[in-house]
Structure formats: C-alpha cells, structure tokens
Structure 1
C-alpha cells in the first residue's frame, strides 16, 4: 500500500506499527440475564484474559480454568479517536464501515433510504486535474454517475454549506472579540477559566461556550488537527472554533428542514454520503458530537424529534475514482453524455440557492477561513452585539481607503501572517503609495498548514495562556507543574499584571489551521500524483471507460492511493513502446509539450490548486458587492471581494430562517448554535486497556 506524502509529526508515528497495535483486543459479552453489564465496560477492564488452544480469548476463571469465551473486538472509529497511536494514514485500517463497499451494501439492502451526496470542491478539482476536465464537466459527470448508475436522489457540492459555515465563523469571531475586549485588561488565563468553568469534564468547548472563549480562534474545519488537539493539547481546545465544518453543515441542511423536510422525509430516512479529500473526514462523520436533533416542523408526519448523524459515510476522492472504474465507466464519457439540464444541478438549486464551485471565495483553497475572518472585520454587523465598553478596534467602510494589509511568510509558504494597518493618507490610483508607510496595527491573523508549523503556534499560545500542554496521550509524559507555574507567571506579565499601561501590539486573533501541507487540495484522500504524463493517461483504454484496463488514479483495496500497481506499470511500458515505434518510423510523438511531462508531487498539488481556481471570475464581483474597487488599496481588495454579495446574504438569511423555524429571541440564538456548532473533548488519560480511556 502506498501512502500519501506530507502528514508526519515529530515524535509521533504516522503508521500503525505492530508495537502500536490497537489496545482493544476483545469485547466483554455479558450473559443475557445480566441486563446491567452492558453499561459497565469497566467490569471487563479488570478481567484477566487467557488464550486457549484454539487461539481464542477466554476470561480466566477462579481456578485458572477457561471461563467465558470472549468475542474478538471490532474497532470503531470512535475507538480510534481514543487511541494513543496513529493520527492520520493508519486510520484506513479501521474504516471498513466508511468505505465504498459499505455504500453498495446500504444501497442494496436498504432501498427505503433516500441517498443524497455532498461533494467537496477540492475533490472536484482533484478529479478535474486527473481527467483533464473543467470543474463544471467534472461535477456533471459525478452527478450522472451517482444519480443514474447508483440511484442517488440529489448530488450537491458543499460550497453553499461552506458559505453558511463561514457566516457562522464571522459571528463567532465578533462574539469572542466582544467578550475579549470588554475587559479593561483581558487575560487569557482568566478567559480560559470563564469559558470552561461551567462545562463537565472532559468537554473543553461547547456550542454555548464558543461565544465566550478566548482569542485567538483556531479554525476547526480540519478533523486531523482536531484529533491531534484532543489527544495532546486538551487545555487549548477552548481556543478552537466551535463552528461545524462544511461537511457537517451540509448534513444539517440535508437531514433537516431545508432538504429532508421539503422532500417529506424524516432525517433518519436520508442516507447522506460525503465525498472529501481527507481520510480524517471519516473520523469526523463517526463522532457523536456531529449529530443534530431535528425539531418539528422538520417531520412531515409530526413524529417526535430524533438525533441523527450529520453524515452517514465519507468517501475519499480516490475511492470515487475506483467506484467509477469498477463499473467500467469513464468520468470523461459521463460528463460528455449527460442529458442537457438533467445533471447540471438545476434540481439541487431548489434547495441550495447558489454554488460557489465556479466562483470560490477569495483566499485559500482550504475554505478561505482566514480571509473570511479579516473580511468580517472590514464589514462588522450592522447591529453589533459588543458592549459599549469594548475596546475592540472597529472598522467602517469610510476607513477602507486608509487600510493596508501586509502578508509575511514565516519559514515557508504554509505559514503566513497577515497584519491589517490604518495609515494616515487614503489610497489613490494616481498617487504613489509608499511601501514603508507605517500606521496603526488594527488586527492580525494567520494561515498555518502542516503539523510542523502548527506545533510552533501551539507552543507560543500555551506560553501566552499560562498553561502547559500535556502530551501524555501522544506517548510523552506531561510537563512538570513547575513549567506550568512558569507559563502562568509569563502570561500574567504579558497581561500587564496591574503595571502601568503600555501600548501593546494587537495579538493574532484568528488562525486558519490545516494538518496537511498546502491544505485540503493536498489531502491524503485525494487522487495520487499520476506516474505518467497526461498524454500517456489519454492513451489508456480506461480514459474512455474500457473495463478491466486499470484506471487513472488507482487506489488499493483499502482505498489508499496506489502508485505502483502492476496495471499502471504495464500501461506505462506499452505507451513507451508505442512512442518508440513511432519514433523509429519517423512519426512525430508530440514529445516536448506540457502533456508529456510527468509532474512531481509538488507540481501535481499546484495543478490541482490551479483547477480549483479555474472557474473564478472577477469581472462583475465589485458590482455585485456594491463597492468602488478603485478607491481601495490593492492589498485590501481580495478581502473586500471575499464579502458575500447582497444576493448571497439574502439567500443565506432565507435558508437560516427555514432552519430555525419559529424560534425567536434567545431561543433562536441557542437553536442556531445547536445546529451550526459542536463540542470538543480532551482525552483525559492513557490507560493500558482501551475500554478504560475516557474523554
């Protein structure tokens, strides 16, 4: 099995070696008469186990004889989250219930369910690069495959759920800023205590507490980073955003009033499958915290509310490529033969008012969370809920011509700091702008991709917050209490400690965090970099859908990218022999063009990135957001253009109204957070027996 590059972490293995075998070997099966034993897993934690002659596991009796035979445990994704071993690639061993085979089984055995699919834009870009298609063609081919060949009812892209997630992220940022700057001398340790004091351990963040949690906000759309934080940096979880990822928000929409309600279905009658660029998204889907209780009038028949998982199953990009090829089909042929209008998303537009697949928000290809945060500060809510005593810097439209934004690479392209300044003179296209012009720093933000960069952010934040990051769950003993005390003294000094007031440069208030270097376009579940050129891929019979000839972007039986398959090697040799024969006959082979280059892994990520932005148009964006773009400095324009247009704001407001139903006032705010935010928990201890690990 060939593993994707990138996801490694110092002092932490990225592969499940034999010495790190899962620590849940058996499951205790109580006698049928013992009705309470199922609720007492600790009973098995203290049991002594012996291995019989048949290699089976038995509970040891009083006199050493074999007792009750124990059933071999089935490891679930939730067990994986409580494990102290792998974080990324090795989870593929544990995802039998999150595979394409499971999709086939559910579709075959549960025909009463209504299957609905959500596809991430990063997955669309990866498949578009693999098959040399446009984003629109790729999405049309996917719709035709899943609807016509598998029977899915609707196929959405997740750009509208992402817009809703970004909208909630903006609200959370303004809530936290209001709370943070309400105090004359905001202190991170005191804010940490206030935001977690009412929570039952081991919960470190809840939908309600995310509003009063401290700054900076660490984005939460990446489940790899969340898994790592819960295992090793539990005390920093209050800094994490409580907003659900686009995948989860799509589930809230699909199983709630917006889609299921309009279709006259209960949430548990919908089978929601998501296509994502990351294997860790399978873990996210399995978490009980990503479940939503849908209230009436969601139900057409007036039955009681029920809590359902936002997403039932996650497929990776590579697994989708395998599914298409297993049917003897070609994505290119599917995109070309689809009936006009039937697979162009018109049915989906009735539920999701707009798609940003061809016009993604300016910023990063991982969702543009940092750009959305900075953009929201350029245009704060019309009725801010911040107290009048808040010292939070405010910005109005009249300030835009005076703003400048500096971006600084720290160590590499995957860590960038943004500094928003206000200068004394407004921008004018006819006047020279001094690059050295200084001004007051209003706010800072950052983009942090990859675990190496992330660890530096975590260390700095833990020092400022006055806490010590425990690393026991990752295989190291936690730091000493003396180190914790030293960090607390350092944090008190940074907070001022009652000393005379000095001008302190604003802290970083928002960090877009992704586990993968280069972000989501380089996710571990994306199509692997092809080992042949585009011209060679075009000559494969599988390019047009011939069955049994292998396919572009192979994955192995576990759904992991397979770059050394025998079929691939054979096809490479065949193409090479064909070119050699043409050259010997004096025929041109076209060698030397871009189609003949075999891209490196880094070049392949750049190609996927290029496809992601390939549909972007900027011609009418200034008009749609209603601004005079020429009066704003070029460094500010991308962030202004990232603001939702009036039409998009209206569409988002309409969908929110439908989601929230008749709730109003405080109940409305609470319900919105229940739907769009989630909880995070720390792994409290590391025990020898996995059944005793608590969150």
Structure 2
C-alpha cells in the first residue's frame, strides 16, 4: 500500500452515452445504472464519481457564446463562419492531419465535456480538496476510443505539476470487461448517489441535454443564437434530412429570408462532402455539429455491441434509454453560474478562456521514404 504522501484521490467521470449503452446491456434503467456504477467504482477505490453531463453545460454555454461573437464578426473576419463543432476527437484528428491550416480557423475552441471535466477535477476539485493537481488521478468513461487521443494532447498537460487533465480513458466496453474480470454483477450492487461538484447541484439522478445523443450542440447553439441575434424564441427545432439521415439541416426563417442555417454532419462520407463545400466556397452553413461516427456518439466505437441484436435495433434501444433521463438547459443549472463566478471569476474572463477553451494545430504530413529520389 502506498504511503499517505503518495496516495492520490481517484476520480471517475462517466459519460451519458456510456451509461446508456451499459443500461441496455445490463437491462437496467439509466438512473439505476448510474447509481450502481457509482457503487462499483467506489468499491474498487474511487473517491468521487461524476456525470460528464455537468461539464457539458460549460461546453454548450461556451459554444453558444463563441458562435454569437463570431457571427457578429463575420463582416470583418471572412473565416469566422461556419463554426465547426470540435467535441469529437476523431473529427479533430482528421481535420488537423488532412486539412490542417485550411480547416483550423473554422473549429470551435470550446473544450469537449471530457476536457472541461478535466479542468473541473484538476483545478476546481483540487482547490476544494486542498490538493495539487498531481495528487488526483482522473479516469473518464467514454463511448469512443479517440477520447484516449484527446486526453493525451499536449494542450491538456499541466507542465508545472507534470500531470494530465485526464489521466486514463476507459471505453464503455472496457468498463464492461472490468466488471466481468472483477466478477461483479452490477444489478446486484447497492446503488450509491452520484457526487456533485457544486454544493447547489443535486446529484441524486443523472441528467442530460436535449438535442440528440451527441450532446445537443446544434440545438443549444441554434436556440440561443435565434434568441440573442434575432429575438426569436424557437420552441421546436425541425430537422430536414439532406443526402441521408446523417446529414441534416436546420434553418431559422423570417419573412422568406433565411437568418440561420445549421447542419448536423455525421460520419466521414458526409464530413468529406462538407469539407469539399468549404473548399469550393459553397458552404451555406453558419454552424455545423460534426461527429466522426455515423449516428453520432451513441454509436461510438467504444460502445457495447450485441452479437444477437442487429446494430440498428441496438442503437435504437440505446437512444431510447439515453433520452429517458431528465434534461436540463445549461443556463438553468444553478451550480454552473456559481462556478462561473467563484471558480472562473466571471463569464468571458481570462481564466474561463484558459480553462474552457483550447487551440488546434496543423499536423505536417511525414514524408514517405518512397518519395525520395536516389
């Protein structure tokens, strides 16, 4: 056993998508799954278990703020629009390596929910627990293998304390394997309440956001922009499928004029079409929610598969359980504003910019030895 000075606080942050996938596999409802997972992680040594739906509040609020600002700047900054969502690391990896400096100016700088949770755990929670960041070991449970790549980015490494914001990423499938290896039936565990990062946040049940299984970026930014830029309240967001169900469009119209045109673009076939539109100067969108996986994060590569169930049917089950939990609008969560004031020193502060945003980098293609002329 480690000496007290070497012991670290262990924190686990679970994504809503992983929770839904496990709920289907274990035939539990999402709330029971969340509580029994909390019990499991604490049984094997975790001190805190959080829901990344809470950190996603910050990602959504920063995304809406960034979009409105860039929309207002479009006349003076030709690359202000479209804003391309950046929460999907598979898409980001492709953008940086394949289209680099052309695509990067369009990418949203808002951190993903995983990396906002990294800031919350290694900065806010560390302060609350009177610990330095290196004394906390942070594990996230995600629907996607590429989240491991995201966690390992140099941008999310604290040089002073030589520690990552997220130390370890487990996919949904890896958590299920861990349960099997430990010989634990989740259904038989006593439930335990999720932990809350803020005193004013009730952690009695898991929550989510409306707008689909990839986080609801399009819907949240669309509703806010309609209200903030044009004074229009959008009750229902209506999607219009274009090439296929993974390429859909949403518009805000008034008096026959299109004020906002947003799109959800999932899967690399559709992403390539989007990039071609951009390169030809024919991209009509102001904002695009981009996800590498067809059908989005609920269908991530790290999610559980079922040999005896068709993938489409399984995904429908996961979507149904994902949507069963209570949804909250980020601006209505009291603990979020509390943290903006106490932890981040206000909205749009330098500290908020540092802890809730990031930058992307062109990745030079390595020259192939085959191209060398002898």
TM-score by length of 1: 0.50
**Match in the other structure for 1:680:** 360
Tell me, which stretches of 5 or more residues in structure 2 are unaligned? 370-374
Question: Pick from 246, 254, 262: which aligns with 1:445?
Answer: 262
Task: Give the conservation status (yes or no) of the 8 Å contact 2:61–2:330.
Answer: no
> Within 5 A, what are the aligned runs for 1:64-79?
none
What is the distance in 2 between the residues matched to 1:240 and 1:324? 37
Partner of 1:428: none
Structure 1 residues 143 and 108, CA gap change in structure 2 (3 angstroms) = farther
SS at match of 2:315: helix
Distance 1:440 1:354 in 2: 43
* Partner residue in 1 for 2:51: 157
Q: Aligned pair 1:511/2:366, yes or no?
A: no
Instruction: Name which of 522, 525, 547 aligns with 2:302.
Output: 525
Aligned partners of 2:214 and 2:353: how far apart in 1?
23
Q: For 1:412, what is the secondary structure of its paired residue? A: coil
Of 296, 318, 337, 1:608 maps to 318
SS of match in other structure, 1:238: helix
TM (normalized to structure 2)?
A: 0.91
Residues 325 and 253 from structure 1, CA distance in 2 versus in 1: closer, same or farther, beyond 3 angstroms? same
* 2: CA distance, partners of 1:685 / 1:520: 28
Which of the numbers 438, 452, 463 marks the counterpart of 2:280?
Answer: 463
Counterparts of residues 158-197 of structure 1 (less than 5 Å): 158-181=52-75, 183=76, 188=78, 191=79
Contact kept in structure 2, 1:236 and 1:462, CA below 8 Å:
no
Matches within 5 A, 1:314-333: 314-333=169-188
Deviation at 1:350, TM superposition (A): 4.2
User: Superposition pairs for residues 176-575 of structure 1, below 5 Å?
Assistant: 176-181=70-75, 183=76, 188=78, 191=79, 214-234=80-100, 235-257=102-124, 259-291=125-157, 306=161, 308-334=163-189, 337-338=190-191, 343-345=192-194, 347-348=195-196, 350=198, 353-354=201-202, 358-380=206-228, 394-396=229-231, 399-400=232-233, 406-423=238-255, 439-464=256-281, 507-529=284-306, 531-532=307-308
Deviations 1:662-690 (A, max 9, x none): xx79xx6222111111111111232248x
Unaligned runs of 5+ in 1: 1-105, 192-213, 294-304, 381-393, 424-438, 465-493, 495-505, 533-598, 618-641, 690-695
Name the counterpart of 1:658: 342
TM-aligned CA distance change 1:176 to 1:118, over 3 Å = same
Evaluate the alpha carbon distance shift between residue 245 and residue 356 of structure 1 in structure 2; reply closer, same or farther with a 3 A threshold.
farther
Distance 1:528 1:456 in 2: 29
What CA distance in whole angstroms lies between the structure 2 residues aligned with 1:133 and 1:121? Answer: 14
2:14 is aligned with 1:116 = no
The question of whether the paired residues in 2 share the 8 Å contact of 1:277 and 1:525 is answered with yes
**How far apart, in 1, do the equivalents of 2:280 and 2:58 lie?**
34
- Shift of the 406–276 alpha-carbon distance from structure 1 to 2, 3 Å rule, reads closer
- Would the aligned equivalents of 1:159 and 1:356 in 2 still touch at CA under 8 Å? no
Judge conservation of contact 1:121–1:357 (CA < 8 Å) in 2. no
After superposing on structure 2, the runs of 4+ consecutive aligned residues of structure 1 that deviate more than 6 Å are: 106-110
Cα distance in 2, alignment partners of residues 133 and 421 from structure 1? 42
Distance 1:118 1:256 in 2: 15
- For 1:606 and 1:526, locate their aligned partners in 2 and report how far apart those are by CA, in whole Å: 13
Residues 292 and 395 of structure 1: CA distance in aligned 2, closer, same or farther (over 3 Å): farther
Contact 2:97 2:365 in 1 (8 A): no
How far apart are 1:445 and its partner, in Å?
0.3
User: How far does residue 351 in structure 1 lie from its aligned partner after superposition?
Assistant: 5.6
Give the drift of 1:463: 1.4
Aligned alpha-carbon RMSD (Å): 2.7
Secondary structure of residue in 2 paired with 1:329: coil
Structure 1 position 353, deviation (Å): 2.0
Larger RCO: 1 or 2 (CA < 8 Å, sep 6+): 2
Separation (CA, whole Å) in 1 of partners of 2:318 and 2:360: 32
- Aligned position for 1:11: none
